[in-house]
């Protein structure tokens, strides 16, 4: 009898897990997503406060500045440094893009000639087809035209959404900077307030877990920065070696697309290689494909290892977390999977250290 009870209990547990996964987890994820959207400026502020903390500590302890002034100077250094770097990059990009706009007709000429030849050949071939086939072709062309019109409408809606979202983005930036100042300035008071009103030992454990997660998250950011920098440098040097014009501009653009997992460097390399093949420059197209293959292989080979080294985890654990995150949460799971693994590891460490004490 006990065996049947165990089987029934196991079946009931599996049923409950399935129902929770099917109905409860999606609702919880929706609520968490909504909360994260509301707290985005403050989450960014916490990250920025952690990033500038070493400089704040140096100015406060070594330079003998009061903490509010040290925080203000650290934020000015951060904003000024990023702004100066961005200005230099934009200045260089504008110069290369202006040169590209002047020489662009020289590249588009062969493509236009090739397309014109294809159109003329297509006309001759089309008029030789039987009427059922031409009717089918016209039907497919109507489908393509409808798809292109929908694509144009989607692009217009996207641009409109970007324009309308600019005021909100400015507000998020302003709130983030203000919150960063107060969080960094009153860091000790915030921690003491938390420890005062949260019961022991949960307050201390939460602080320990938060510190572990933040350190690991910064390590993850460093790892991604290393990988993106490696992709960018490879692209710039490789494009320069194969004789591509505007290697710096295109390399930086490839690095930007490397930030987006669903796009990646292929967004630049593959269309560029196709363009080279169409325009008749087969050798350059093959060089682009080989360079992209090199960038892709290096990225795939080093990603799990670099992330694991930054997080203090085994590469296999990071690979499993990234794959599980991709399957469960989509593209965003590539980032959230390792972060959730970090959180679990930090919670286990905090609980273990508390038991040891």
The domain segmentation of the chain, as residue ranges, is 1-197, 198-357
Give 17-68 pLDDT, tens digit per residue: 888 777 877 888 788 778 877 888 998 898 889 888 889 999 999 888 999 9
Most confident of 152-156, 258-262, 263-267: 263-267
Residue 355 corresponds to which tokens in the numbers above?
A: 């038991």
d(CA 105, CA 54): 51
d(CA 108, CA 313): 50
d(CA 142, CA 134): 12
What contacts 206, CB < 8 A, 6 or more positions away?
194, 198
d(CA 29, CA 17): 16
d(CA 164, CA 158): 10
Give whole-number Cα distances, 99 to 86, 91, 103, 181, in Å. 20, 13, 6, 42
**pTM, rounded to two decimals:** 0.62
Contacts for 211-217 with beta carbons within 8 Å, 24 or more apart? Answer: 212/342, 212/345, 212/346, 212/349, 212/350, 213/339, 213/342, 213/343, 213/346, 214/46, 214/47, 214/50, 216/311, 216/312, 216/339, 216/342, 216/345, 216/346, 217/47, 217/339, 217/342
The pLDDT mean for the chain works out to 79
pLDDT above 60 (res 1): no
Tell me the pLDDT band of 197, cut-offs 50, 70 and 90. confident
Give whole-number Cα distances, 206 to 78, 218, 346, in Å. 29, 18, 10
Give 69-110 pLDDT, tens digit per residue: 999 999 999 888 888 877 877 777 677 667 766 666 666 666
Q: What percent of the chain has pLDDT over 90?
A: 15
């Amino acid at each position: 009898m006990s065996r049947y009870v165990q089987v029934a209990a196991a079946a009931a547990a599996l049923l409950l897990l399935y129902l929770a996964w099917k109905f409860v987890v999606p609702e919880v994820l929706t609520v968490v997503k909504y909360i994260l959207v509301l707290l985005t400026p403050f989450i960014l502020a916490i990250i920025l406060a952690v990033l500038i903390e070493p400089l704040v500590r140096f100015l406060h302890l070594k330079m003998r500045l009061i903490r509010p002034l040290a925080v203000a100077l650290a934020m000015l250094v951060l904003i000024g440094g990023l702004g100066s770097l961005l200005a230099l990059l934009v200045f260089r990009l504008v110069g290369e893009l202006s040169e590209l706009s002047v020489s662009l007709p020289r590249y588009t000429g062969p493509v236009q000639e090739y397309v014109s030849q294809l159109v003329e050949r297509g006309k001759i071939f089309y008029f030789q087809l039987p009427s059922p086939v031409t009717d089918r072709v016209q039907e497919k062309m109507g489908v393509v035209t409808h798809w292109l019109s929908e694509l144009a409408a989607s692009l217009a809606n996207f641009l409109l959404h970007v324009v309308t979202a600019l005021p909100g983005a400015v507000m998020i930036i302003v709130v983030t900077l203000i919150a960063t100042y107060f969080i960094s300035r009153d860091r000790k008071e915030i921690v003491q307030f938390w420890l005062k009103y949260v019961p022991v030992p949960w307050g201390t454990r939460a602080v320990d877990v938060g510190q572990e997660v933040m350190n690991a998250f910064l390590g993850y950011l460093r790892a991604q920065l290393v990988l993106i920098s490696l992709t960018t440098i490879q692209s710039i040097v490789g494009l320069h070696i194969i004789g591509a014009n505007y290697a710096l501009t295109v390399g930086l653009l490839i690095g930007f697309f490397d930030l987006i997992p669903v796009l990646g460097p292929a967004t630049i390399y593959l269309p560029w290689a196709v363009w080279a093949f169409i325009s008749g420059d087969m050798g350059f197209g093959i060089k682009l494909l080989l360079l992209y293959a090199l960038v892709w292989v290096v990225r795939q080979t080093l990603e799990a290892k670099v992330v694991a080294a930054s997080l203090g985890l085994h590469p296999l654990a990071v690979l499993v977390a990234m794959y599980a995150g991709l399957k469960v949460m989509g593209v965003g799971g590539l980032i959230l999977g390792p972060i959730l693994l970090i959180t679990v590891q930090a919670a286990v460490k905090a609980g273990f250290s508390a038991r040891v004490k």
